[in-house]
């Protein structure tokens, strides 16, 4: 590089412009503090430092303003064009369409949910709601009282009614025995019950206890005038506990307990309960009955109770037809009964 003074002395390695040596060679001030070497990257070789603005005045405006084909981008030949943001716009449009698709799907699902909910409500409150409750098997206990005990109400959802729960509630009334609950679709309920039937009475400690065939106390009284006239008086029971109304009397003798249950069950099956006035089971090996028409019947032990009771009925009927009004009948052997006037 030749300075204005025409000196051709080359710079030594590591020597900077603007050093005292260069000043002696006529280096101008604008060349000071510059590095002699390759131009820095990303810099324009035509740009001059700010401390030499007079050079720009002697140049063409095309150079100073970077005007002309020389300054156009080279390499790929790509030139920016109007509308370079179209891909972004297209992407935005696709996103909007996608969002619109999600919104439509949500609306469809919401509509389906609302429709199903409406159908469920119609089925629950219009179709399968209980409209009629009917009770069968009751005689003394009123129907509306049994319905109240069951806990079933009009308007209940028939599909969710629990039979076990209804049975538990009805069993809470000592007068009733639950049989079944039938659901007659779409809105009718049938509750079948059996009322506990009094079959005998016991005089224990001066108190009259009326019981069913399971020894459940249905009624108690201290008034002798309230003695049931059409029930069997049971004698000889070894009462231990549970003598309150609604309780099952506990016996101290298990054999008596078994005889009691079997005998009154057979009486009910044969329909002879009303013909017996007394039953004494104080001795399990010698059961004694007294009929209402004056006969005393010895059954012996608990074996073959069904055959013995059936034989008793046939013998008593025959003796009555023959004109007898009293006597003793031994039916230890039901096939060979013995009558003693």
Q: By the 8 A CB rule, do 301 and 287 touch?
A: yes
* 211-246 residue pLDDT tens: 999 999 999 999 999 999 899 999 999 999 999 999
Mean of all residue pLDDT scores within the chain: 82
> Which of 317, 255, 315 shows the shortest CA–CA distance to 287?
255
Phi, psi of 242 (to 5 degrees): 60, 70
Percent of the chain surpassing pLDDT 70: 71
Highest mean pLDDT among 81-95, 113-127, 176-190: 176-190
Half-sphere exposure of 7 (CA within 13 A, CB side): 13
Q: By the 8 A CB rule, do 187 and 158 touch?
A: yes
* 42-75 residue pLDDT tens: 555 555 555 556 666 666 666 666 666 666 666 5
Cis peptide before 278 (omega within 30 of 0): no
Half-sphere exposure of 31 (CA within 13 A, CB side): 16
Rounded CA-CA distance 182/150 in Å is: 13
301-305: Cβ within 8 A, 24+ apart: 302/255, 302/258, 302/259, 302/262, 302/263, 304/334, 305/262, 305/263, 305/266
pTM, two decimal places: 0.63
Q: Which domains does the chain have, with CATH numbers?
A: 20-71 (no CATH), 132-195 (3.10.20.310), 198-340 (3.40.50.10960)
């Amino acid at each position: 590089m030749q300075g204005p003074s025409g000196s051709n002395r080359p710079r030594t390695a590591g020597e900077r412009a603007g050093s005292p040596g260069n000043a002696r060679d006529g280096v101008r001030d604008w060349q000071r503090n510059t590095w002699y070497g390759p131009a820095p990257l990303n810099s324009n070789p035509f740009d001059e430092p700010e401390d030499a603005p007079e050079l720009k005045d002697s140049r063409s405006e095309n150079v100073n303003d970077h005007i002309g084909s020389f300054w156009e981008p080279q390499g790929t030949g790509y030139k920016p064009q109007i509308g370079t943001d179209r891909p972004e716009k297209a992407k935005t449009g696709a996103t909007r369409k996608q969002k619109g698709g999600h919104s439509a799907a949500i609306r469809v699902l919401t509509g389906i949910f609302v429709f199903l909910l409406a159908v469920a409500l119609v089925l629950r409150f219009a179709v399968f709601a209980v409209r009629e409750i009917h009770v069968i098997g009751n005689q003394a206990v009123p129907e509306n009282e049994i319905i109240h005990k069951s806990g079933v109400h009009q308007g209940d959802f028939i599909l969710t009614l629990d039979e076990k729960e209804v049975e538990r509630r009805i069993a809470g009334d000592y007068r009733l025995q639950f049989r079944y609950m039938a659901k007659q679709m779409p809105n009718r309920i049938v509750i079948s019950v059996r009322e506990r039937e009094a079959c005998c009475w016991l005089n224990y400690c001066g108190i009259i206890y009326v019981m069913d065939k399971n020894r459940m106390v249905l009624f108690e009284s201290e008034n002798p005038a309230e003695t049931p006239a059409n029930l069997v008086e049971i004698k000889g029971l070894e009462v231990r506990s549970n003598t309150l109304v609604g309780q099952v009397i506990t016996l101290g003798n298990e054999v008596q307990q078994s005889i009691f249950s079997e005998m009154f069950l057979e009486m009910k099956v044969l329909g002879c309960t009303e013909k017996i006035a007394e039953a004494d089971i104080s001795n399990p090996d010698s059961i004694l009955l007294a009929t209402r028409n004056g006969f005393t019947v010895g059954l012996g032990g608990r074996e073959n109770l069904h055959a013995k009771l059936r034989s008793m009925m046939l013998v008593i009927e025959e003796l009555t037809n023959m004109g007898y009004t009293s006597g003793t009948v031994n039916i230890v052997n039901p096939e060979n009964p013995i009558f003693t006037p």
